[in-house]
Amino acid sequence: MNAVTLKQILTNPVIQKIQEDDSKSKLAAVMIIIFGNEPMLLMIERPKTMNHHAGEISFPGGMWELEDVDLLGTAIRETREELGVKISRSMVIGQLNPVTTLNSGFKITPFIVILDELPSIVPNSEIASILKIPLFSLLKTIEDDKDPFHKSILEMYTFKFQDHVIWGASARMLKQILVKILS
């Protein structure tokens, strides 16, 4: 499967308005950046010193702020702040279903962008390392999450890349991508 076919599969309407039921949740948004002819996925490793999600592998993103207007604005702002990568609203091809984090209680809306090539990245202090991961190889590594501390909800998965384990909300987002590709 190439980037064009992947784009067709992952394209769907973007809901920019914050939903009424979201007012009681801690809201966040992430940007899933896929790039290149042989689709690669951009993920980040958080520093071990962070208050939330320390040392975890995730997508660029963060907490919704009033000046963001909507959650897509949050994903765009956070991607620019964390990576120095400017994504415009028109570049976003779709979104996935929101997922909730296990320990911090955030409801995260993932947005998707597919780029021909990755622009230069200038990571800020919220980023320990940048991971450029072959998407299809990563998706083949899916397993049920066997860590008993992660089993507070029914649907828990892990994906592996080199010596990194991707779990939690990020893994549930990847599972959504996998389901879309396989259906």
List the one residue out of 83, 73, 67 whose CA is nearest residue 29: 73
Whether 75 is in a domain gets the answer yes
Whether 147 is in a domain gets the answer no
Which percentage of the chain shows pLDDT scores above 90? 69
Whether 111 is in a domain gets the answer yes
Mean pLDDT of 101-122: 91
Task: For 79-105, write each residue's pLDDT tens digit.
Answer: 999 999 999 999 999 999 999 887 778
Q: How many domains does the chain have?
A: 1
CATH of the domain at 39: 3.90.79.10
Residue for token pair 């890349």: 161
Whether 160 is in a domain gets the answer no
Task: For 132-142, write each residue's pLDDT tens digit.
Answer: 999 999 999 99
Please state, in angstroms and rounded to a whole number, the distance separating the CA atoms of residues 33 and 49: 25
CB atoms within 10 A of CB 45: 15
CA triplet 39, 135, 175: central angle to 5 degrees?
Answer: 130
| pLDDT at res. 19 | 62
Whether 174 is in a domain gets the answer no
Task: For 157-178, write each residue's pLDDT tens digit.
Answer: 999 999 999 998 999 999 999 9
72: left (phi over 0), alpha (psi -120 to 50) or beta: alpha
Whether 143 is in a domain gets the answer no
Whether 176 is in a domain gets the answer no
Domain that includes residue 71, residue range? 3-17+24-134
The answer to whether residues 3 and 81 touch, using CB atoms and an 8 Å cutoff, is: no
| pLDDT at res. 176 | 97
pLDDT greater at residue 121 or residue 25? 121
Read off the tokens for 13: 């309407």
Whether 48 is in a domain gets the answer yes
Task: Enumerate the β-bridge partners of residue 105.
Answer: none
Which percentage of the chain shows pLDDT scores above 70? 88
DSSP classification of residue 146: -
Task: For 144-161, write each residue's pLDDT tens digit.
Answer: 887 766 555 666 899 999
